[in-house]
Structure 1
Amino acid sequence: MTQIQFNLDIDVLKESVMNSNIDAVVKSSIVLVLNEFMEKKRDEHLQASAYERSPERRDYRNGYYERELLISIGKIKLRVPRTREGDFSTSIFERFSRVDQALTLSMLEMVVNGVSTRKVKNIVEQLCGESVSKSFVSSLTEKLDPVVNKWANRPLNVQYFPYLYADAMYIKVREHNKVVPKAVYLMTAMDEEKKRQVIGLKIDHAESFEAWQGFFSDLKARGLQSPKLIVSDAHAGLKKAIDREFIGTSWQRCSVHFKRNIINKLPKKGSSQVIADLRRIYQTISCEEARKFKDDLLMNHQDNPKLKKAIEILEDGFEESIQYLNEPKMYQRHLSSTNSLERLNQEIRRRERVIRIFPNTQSAFRLIGALLMENENLQLNRRYTLKP
């Protein structure tokens, strides 16, 4: 191990102690130590001290240049030694770059967790005594691009997912100096051990059959195999895309959304028994039992003219809302609805409220992708019970 003896200018350090605050003292100490360290490293590289004549000398000194280094208490300016041939380099900046990286990662984490760039800018100024622009903070988030893109395009042929969940939500994005709505497409999957993960993210102009079909095609190109069951809402374009791209796959209409649609058509008063009968249908564990309870509901309430619209909705969508009952009992309550995706959407909404309008589509993809990566294990593996 190299032994280095430092010859520090104590007068400079003393002046800092007498006339400055503690941050200035620490900064001065670091500058003196690092400058001396680099000086000794140059001597080792040259294999000769200053003014020393030596047959082992490899090169000659060529002055210094100044370079700034950002540390936790602010920015310092160092004198970096040079050589004539220019082949001497110091590891100081690489070693201490972890401080800069830690600061960068902290800022990225704040942005991803919903802290506005203006607030991040203020926090950095408080911590480091350095003024940074909002555009600088925004540019730091671009460091997420390679990570998010690698995650979003990872191969899906290494594992089979029998159950998929699909949904879309809208965000606001600035495009050509206008604020326009954009559709965020999400696909999550559950494996046979009931572990879930986000497998697909896409941002498009609007929710449509063509966009859903393209989304599914991209997933298949990454190796996604046709699942047993896909759970989603009843968007017509989504249903058509499922039929077109996943031949032989059953479609489960989200039972929570379906029940809400029915309940919304019921009279405001006197519907408690109808609601109880409706919920009993989805508390069963077999299609036969669910059909029996549905027939009981129709028999008990079909003569009420105020329930006509609600009963029509029930009859039209009933079979598609009980497809989860064809699966093993251990999976059924996880397949009846898109509740887990709804919870994920809520988390995205919470962060979106801070940003309000994404500056462009790429920034939206970047931050939503980073958020999904962060929440994948924490949020999706929880069990949610949202009632209609």
Structure 2
Amino acid sequence: MNRKMLKEIISNMDMDVVKELDEYGKNKLATLMEGLLIEIMGKERYEYLLENPEDKGNGTYKRSLNTGLGKLNLDVPRTRSGNFRSHLLPPKYQRYDESFEDLIFSFLINGDSKQEIVHKMKLRGLDFSEKAYDEIFEYIKTQMLEFKSKELQENYYFLYIYAYHCMVKDEKDKRVKRAVVYTVVGIDTNAQKTLLGYYSFFGSENRSTWMEVFQDLINRGMKRVLMFICDDFNGISEAIRAFFPYSDIQKCTVHASRNVYKHMKKEDASYVNKKLKEIKYSCDTFEKGIEIFKTEIIDRFKDQYKTYTKYLDSRKEELLAFLKYPEVIRKYINSTNTVESVHSSFEKQRLKKGGFFQSMDILNVALFIATDKLHKTWNVNPLIKAKRYELNQMFVAKFGKGVEE
């Protein structure tokens, strides 16, 4: 086994599997790793001395290395000049490798508190203190801030936006307060689904904070979006149009179907949802969908439900905007399900944290770790990719330039 192979084994080690090993299994694996590391470091020194005959070997020195398996005790080879250093070792003065960080990340994902993580690490025989926890927590925060400030592409086909509501302890007055997380998921012009950002605020969802979100997206480089998919939060359409005046807006059809039952008798609501389903799956064009919506829903119930049908009439173009797009991709762009799947991972974090997050920092770090893991499972949507030509033509018609310009 060469050095490259061993480094790949260490970097690809499945920490979820390691966590499930019993103590005997961990000890056996740790002993094996110690032997492999010592042997390969010895060969590294041998190769170094062949290339540097003026230098001489000078025995070994003891060094411990914290890993996800526990503490490894190593005999590290050295030379008289002190110029030799094994490539397997982490940077000088760092006593842990990447698998050690991954183990801590996994504890954070599971909702463990600082004290619980310190206790579990010490049970594994690892040199770990609350100070070390704080250092790694700050490291994760730095990665999170880099993600949040990452430059964006100029053009996107679709943006899914939605707000997640939770409770967070305010470190200033130690009170648990309402908080909201605004999440943005994009489908770029290569049909790749990407988490573009999440933004946390104390308080309730409102138009002004959505406008802060859109301003940040623009500051990071975004310029044009074919269509936004969102719920029908009051003021969201106006906020979108203030920054992206030429974009289509699609209101979530799933939410719309649920809301019908809040405003109409059950029998009438069932009829409306049946018609909405027919429009969704049977209409060839946007214009045809609008016509059926107007005659079969608005006109039919306008006398019985005057206020609600007036509301539906004002929203019809935003409820049916997905009909402007190729038929095979409509099921992906008529609801906020894409971003709500992200929020389900947020909700798991909330439950693991005891129903609320201990601080805004803990909220942001927990969500960053959870979404980073989720994000790695996302792939290019093949059906959207197959319709890139049509979507690019829509881009030209809407913005006067192609996606590559």
TM-score over 0.5 (shorter chain): yes
Aligned partner of residue 264 in structure 1, secondary structure: helix
Alignment of 1:1-388 (within 5 A): 69-70=65-66, 74-75=70-71, 94=89, 100-112=97-109, 114-117=110-113, 120-121=117-118, 123-126=120-123, 128-130=124-126, 136-137=132-133, 139-157=135-153, 160-174=155-169, 175-176=171-172, 177-206=174-203, 207-268=205-266, 271-283=269-281, 284-294=283-293, 295-302=295-302, 305=304, 307-355=305-353, 356-378=355-377
CA distance in 1, matches of 2:377, 2:116: 26
Give, in whole Å, the separation in 2 of the partners of 1:109 and 1:349.
17
Q: Which amino acid in the other structure matches residue 208 of structure 2?
A: E
AA aligned to 2:155 is Y
Alignment correspondent of 2:10: none
1:129/1:226 CA distance change after superposition, 3 Å: same
Mapped contact 1:168–1:185 kept (Cα < 8 A): yes
Are the equivalent residues in 2 in contact too, given 1:344–1:380 (CA < 8 A)? no
What is the alpha-carbon distance in structure 2 between the residues aligned to residue 380 and residue 125 of structure 1? 38
Q: CA deviation at 1:312?
A: 3.5
**RMSD, matched Cα:** 4.4
In structure 2, C-alpha distance between the alignment counterparts of 1:255 and 1:124, rounded to whole Å: 48
Q: Determine helix, strand or coil for the equivalent of 1:203.
A: strand
Are the equivalent residues in 1 in contact too, given 2:349–2:366 (CA < 8 A)? no
- The one-letter amino acid of 1:156's match is L
Deviation of 1:90 (Å)? 6.4
Offset at residue 345 of structure 1 (A)? 0.9
- Comparing 131-140 with 341-350, which one deviates more in the overlay? 131-140
Change over 3 Å in CA distance of 1:272–1:135 after alignment to 2: farther
Query: C-alpha displacement at 1:219, in angstroms?
Result: 1.1
Identity between Structure 1 and Structure 2 (%): 19
Q: Secondary structure at the match of 1:336?
A: coil
State whether residues 182 and 203 of structure 1, in contact with CA within 8 Å, keep that contact through their aligned partners in structure 2.
yes
Equivalent residues of 1:231, 1:252 under 8 A apart: yes
Instruction: State whether residues 69 and 93 of structure 1, in contact with CA within 8 Å, keep that contact through their aligned partners in structure 2.
Output: no
Shift of 1:247: 2.3
> Aligned equivalents of 1:188 and 1:92: distance in 2?
39
Q: Match of 1:236, SS? A: coil
Counterpart-to-counterpart distance in 2, 1:108 and 1:261: 40
C-alpha distance 77-275 of structure 1, shift in aligned 2 (>3 A): closer
Could you tell me how far apart the structure 2 residues matched to 1:381 and 1:260 are?
A: 30
Return the alpha-carbon distance in structure 2 between the equivalents of residues 99 and 131 of structure 1.
9
Is the CA contact 1:265–1:309 (under 8 Å) kept in the aligned structure 2? no
Distance 1:71 1:234, change over 3 A: closer
User: Quick check: which has more Rg, 1 or 2?
Assistant: 1
- Is the CA contact (8 Å cut-off) linking 1:263 and 1:275 kept in structure 2? no
Cα drift, residue 66 of structure 1: 8.7
Q: Distance in 1 between matches of 2:78 and 2:366?
A: 42
Answer yes or no: is the 8 Å Cα contact 2:302–2:310 preserved in 1.
no
Q: Residue 210 of structure 1 contacts residue 237 of structure 1 at CA under 8 Å; is this kept in 2?
A: no
Tell me if the contact between 1:121 and 1:131 (Cα under 8 Å) persists in the aligned partners: no
Q: Which runs of 5+ in 1 are unaligned?
A: 1-20, 46-55, 384-388
Q: Compute the displacement of 1:341 (Å).
A: 0.8
User: What corresponds to 1:386 in structure 2?
Assistant: none
The one-letter code matched in structure 1 to 2:166 is: I
The alignment partner of 1:162 has SS state of strand
Amino acid at match of 1:324: F
Give the letter aligned to residue 350 of structure 2: E
Kept in 2: contact 1:344–1:379 (CA 8 A): no
Runs of 5+ unmatched residues, structure 2: 1-23, 383-405
For the 8 Å contact 1:262–1:313, the answer to whether it is kept is no
Shift of 1:364: 2.2
Looking at structure 1, the residues matched to 247 and 72 of structure 2 have their Cα atoms a distance apart, in angstroms, of 62
- Partner deviation per Cα, 1:39-98 (whole Å, 9 max, x = no partner): xx9xx99xxxxxxxxxx999xx9xx99975435665578899999xx9789659935968
Q: By how many angstroms is 1:265 displaced?
A: 1.5
